[in-house]
Amino acid sequence: MPTGVALRDVRTQLFDAAERVLLRSGPSALTSRAVTDEAGVAKGVLHRHFADFDAFLADFVLDRVDRMDEQAASLRDAAGSGTVVGNLADALTALFGSVAVAIVPLVIFRDELRARLRETWPAGVPVLTEGAIMLASYLAAEQELGRLAADVPVDGLAPMLVGTGHLLFADRTGTPPAPDAVRAMVTTVVGAHLR
């Protein structure tokens, strides 16, 4: 890599490269060398911006969680429109069609990454926890509109949807589940609570 070349938004460039490596080759292939090679920068660039590789990975995971804010707002805005099952199925497909499925094994794979994440994220795998928060917020909005039974504990129902959705999508190398399979799963979990 030539020296003296100005880099624009190094963090974004490195995070995007990490996502590509992670999606293409899985967590075991995600090394600082793989990231910098993918980004087309010298290895020292990563270490100038992050204390170490696990600090980089922790920031990468949290950056991808922050990107879920727009999806969460869109889902909450969808309350009262379409069907509850359709909205939840679309949200789960978008969540697990993203890098989220690949981040779960990354967090599980690296002990030091989990330790770093615990400094700012107290429990759970961040993308899954944030997904459950997103779904609970949507379900609460549907409850307020009367489309979901008032006595349903949405804070319990949302993690059930995320966990079951993760099981459907977990094999990132295989064919994603068909939309009908996702809707059937959502119907099984929430169907009895719809009004």
**pLDDT tens string 148-194:** 999 999 999 999 999 999 999 887 677 889 999 999 999 999 999 99
**Domain spanning 10-49, CATH architecture:** Orthogonal Bundle (1.10)
| Per-residue pLDDT at 172 | 66
Phi, psi of 151 (to 5 degrees): -95, 5
Q: Which of 111-115, 118-122, 130-134 has the lowest mean pLDDT?
A: 118-122
Phi, psi of 79 (to 5 degrees): -55, 130
| pLDDT bucket at 2, cuts 50 / 70 / 90 | very low
Dihedral (C-alpha) 169, 86, 68, 33: value to the nearest 10 degrees?
20
User: 38: which 2 tokens?
Assistant: 């993918």
- Whether 191 contacts 157, CB under 8 Å: no
The mean per-residue pLDDT over the stretch 99-110 comes to 86
CATH number of 60-193: 1.10.357
Phi, psi of 148 (to 5 degrees): -135, 140
pLDDT above 90: residue 6:
no
**In the chain, helix, strand, coil percent, each to 5?**
70, 0, 25
The mean per-residue pLDDT over the stretch 89-104 comes to 88
| Per-residue pLDDT at 125 | 84
The mean per-residue pLDDT over the stretch 106-115 comes to 88
Domain chopping of the chain, boundaries? 10-49, 60-193
Nearest in space to 113 (alpha carbons), one of 65, 52, 47: 52
| Per-residue pLDDT at 8 | 62
Nearest in space to 5 (alpha carbons), one of 56, 39, 29: 39
Average per-residue pLDDT for the chain: 90
Q: Which residue(s) pair with 148 in the sheet?
A: 194
The mean per-residue pLDDT over the stretch 8-30 comes to 91
129/125 Cα distance (integer angstroms)? 6
Provide the percentage of residues in the chain whose pLDDT is more than 70: 95
| pLDDT bucket at 126, cuts 50 / 70 / 90 | confident
Nearest in space to 107 (alpha carbons), one of 117, 99, 97, 98: 117
